Structure 1
Amino acid sequence: MLTFLLEFLAVSAGLLGLVWFIILMVSDADVPLSLRAKFGKQPESLAGKVVWVTGASSGIGEAIAYCLAESGCKLVLTARRKERLEKVKQTCLASAFCKVKEDDILVLPFDVVDFDSHEKKVQEVLEYFHTVDILINNAGKTQRAAWMDVELSVDRELYDVNVLGPVSLTQALLPHMVERKQGQIVVVSSLAGKVGAPMSRAYAGCKHAVQGYFDTLRTEMALNNIDVTIICPGPVFSEVLIHAATGKKGEVLDKPMAVTEKRMTANRCAYLSCVAIANRQYEAWVSQHPVLVLVYISLLFPDFGKWFMAKLGLKQLLALREGKQ
């Protein structure tokens, strides 16, 4: 009887593993998120929530704003460029699927590295909407240069934007959420925060740091009914390479993405991110293959993953991350 039970458990585990693998190979997100996109809560379940999105003037942040407006969320849109934020607001309102009014979208331009302004900006939002249900820390900057060619000033710049900006703004807002005993903090990290990406030491290092900061926050906020969701996108179409840092202070890459590259659209990434937020998922991986499966291999089998990455070589890895394959 015991032998039969063990054999049954082994077969069941094997079948479950096979089903999991099949779902992964036909998905563009981690398996739990793929299942939630099919059977879980949809972004429409967030209707009526006040959601603050940083980095909302372009790319993933802009697409998230459109998805949330169509889901009936009240929005706070933040970035440095006021004119771009106003354009995003008008595009939201012009959509035939938009479920909010003009007064439901607050344009609040400021730079996330202006740390001294964060408490004041939080008060402005609370005076306007009286509450914030979800903060989406999306503002960020990427970087491209060989490890040995990066000036330390570039590391500091990206750390301020990608790490301390979200940490400071979150810290300024948290007392409000703690007082209410509810809320959700979202941070857009990257798959480069799970597996080091070549030619991006400052960016990959920052995103690894983001994971540590916000995993820590999740544990501490559990008793206050405040969830933390970390979104980890892979290659996505956006303007990030135009504004990307290089290895020298003040220099930008100024490299637009080609439409032929193999990347996820910002709209698809935004939808999956909003599904993860609606289902209060702890962490979500959003990417096409082969990047997604490579990250799974690297984290499930660390030694093999590092060996395999080394065998693939720098040229091949760069081609994968830049959507060339």
Structure 2
Amino acid sequence: MSWDLLLWLLALCVPLAFVVQLVRFLRADGDLTLLWAEWQGRRPEWELTDMVVWVTGASSGIGEELVYQLSKLGVSLVLSARRVHELERVKRRCLENGNLKGKDILVLPLDLTDISSHEVATKAVLQEFGKIDILVNNGGRSQRSLCAETSLDVYKELIDLNYLGTVSLTKCVLPHMIERKQGKIVTVNSLMGIFSAPLSSGYCASKHALRGFFNGLRTELATYPGILVSNIFPGPVQSNIVKNALTNDATQTLCNVGDQSYKMATSRCVRLILISMANDLKEVWIADQPFLSVAYLWQYTPTWAMWLTNKLGKKRIENFKNGLDADSYFKIRKTKHD
């Protein structure tokens, strides 16, 4: 083969490879590192068996689905949330559809805002199972209200629940993991922890705080390579988080949530979370387009991202005032996954 022909082939392959990667990105529902791990990485079915996994916010949404998928992997589960009857419902379904027995599941009611109860809860888990391999910080609430119209009590509750409650529970579990020199601390954050949007200023603040805290904690644990600190950033997912969102008054929640069908299926989001846990990924973005592209814009071209967010934010506020889902103007092409 002549050098001219070889150079010509190389020149042809470069733009072709770029086009292929662009098409893959436009169809992506997670960051490229995560999707590589899904394709070539370790399987949750291999890596997560025989572990004790503590999940907060396990009574609904991502937490509930995570428990269901974990129950099929041969783990021991600790289910925490405030609503005991909902936790018992989740436990029954795990026993019906999973591979666990009653002794493998501990229902442990927990209020993240009641910081004084976290140490007792941690001791209860250790007494029951003898160890905590994975802590999944999933509990929290969202917000739908304009800053100028919102009581300061709403901001306080969001910080107390989403941020301080999560930090407190993590600090209770951390000494056990340090003693064993192993463990996984997985925090379900939000794309709102990377960028911000109107109607969610308090929620965004709490999620940005979580990102900063856990990134800082990871550096402090550099001498413990067996302890993983992982931040998971999902975009819009089909769950009750919008229904349970705080409004301008801390005593009220959002009633009319609008159409949620365009959002990512909870089962797909949880599968990607499990893949990230199995492959020890430190930061993971999970979202359909165009939300995933917005995250990349905020990460690499923040000036352009601010301009775009200002444009889209006007429509988001308009939808909210008209009783629609704030993000329903996005027409997302659904992609089927196995």
TM norm structure 1: 0.91
Deviation at 1:256, TM superposition (A): 4.1
**Secondary structure in 2 matching 1:270:** helix
Q: Which position in structure 1 is the counterpart of 2:327?
A: 322
Which residues in structure 2 correspond to 1:193-204 (within 5 Å)? Answer: 193-204=193-204
* Contact map agreement 2:199 2:317 (CA 8 A) in 1: no
Deviation at 1:304, TM superposition (A): 1.5
Distance 1:11 1:297 in 2: 29
CA 1:12–1:173: 2 relative to 1, 3 Å: farther
Considering only aligned residues, what root-mean-square deviation do their CA atoms show, in Å? Answer: 2.2
* Contact map agreement 1:291 1:321 (CA 8 A) in 2: no
Distance 1:297 1:107 in 2: 41
Indicate whether 1:156 and 2:161 are aligned.
Answer: no
1:56 to 46, 55, 58: 58
**Secondary structure in 2 matching 1:85:** helix
Number of equivalences? 316
Indicate whether 1:73 and 2:75 are aligned.
Answer: yes
Q: Which position in structure 2 is the counterpart of 1:191?
A: 191
Distance 2:31 2:251 in 1: 36
Q: For residues 191-220 of structure 1, what are the alpha-carbon distances to aligned partners after superposition, in whole Å with 9 as ceiling and x for unaligned? A: 011010211111011111110011111111
Unaligned runs of 5+ in 2: 1-8, 320-324, 331-338
Indicate whether 1:266 and 2:266 are aligned.
Answer: yes
CA 1:121–1:316: 2 relative to 1, 3 Å: closer
Deviation at 1:303, TM superposition (A): 1.2
Which residues in structure 2 correspond to 1:3-22 (within 5 Å)? Answer: 18-22=19-23
Q: For residues 222-262 of structure 1, what are the alpha-carbon distances to aligned partners after superposition, in whole Å with 9 as ceiling and x for unaligned? A: 21221111111111111122221011221211234535x31
CA 1:313–1:107: 2 relative to 1, 3 Å: closer
CA 1:13–1:173: 2 relative to 1, 3 Å: farther
* Contact map agreement 1:262 1:324 (CA 8 A) in 2: no
Name the aligned partner's letter for residue 47 of structure 1.
Answer: T
TM norm structure 2: 0.88
Q: Percent same amino acid at aligned positions?
A: 42
Q: Which position in structure 1 is the counterpart of 2:89?
A: 87
**Secondary structure in 1 matching 2:65:** helix
Distance 2:292 2:141 in 1: 21
Distance 1:9 1:167 in 2: 52
**Secondary structure in 2 matching 1:305:** helix
CA 1:104–1:199: 2 relative to 1, 3 Å: same
Deviation at 1:94, TM superposition (A): 0.7
Name the aligned partner's letter for residue 95 of structure 2.
Answer: L
Q: For residues 105-140 of structure 1, what are the alpha-carbon distances to aligned partners after superposition, in whole Å with 9 as ceiling and x for unaligned? A: 111012111100111100000000000000000000
Name the aligned partner's letter for residue 119 of structure 2.
Answer: E
Distance 1:16 1:119 in 2: 53
Unaligned runs of 5+ in 1: 1-7
* Contact map agreement 2:197 2:313 (CA 8 A) in 1: no
Deviation at 1:282, TM superposition (A): 0.6
Q: Indicate the larger mover: 263-272 or 120-129.
A: 263-272
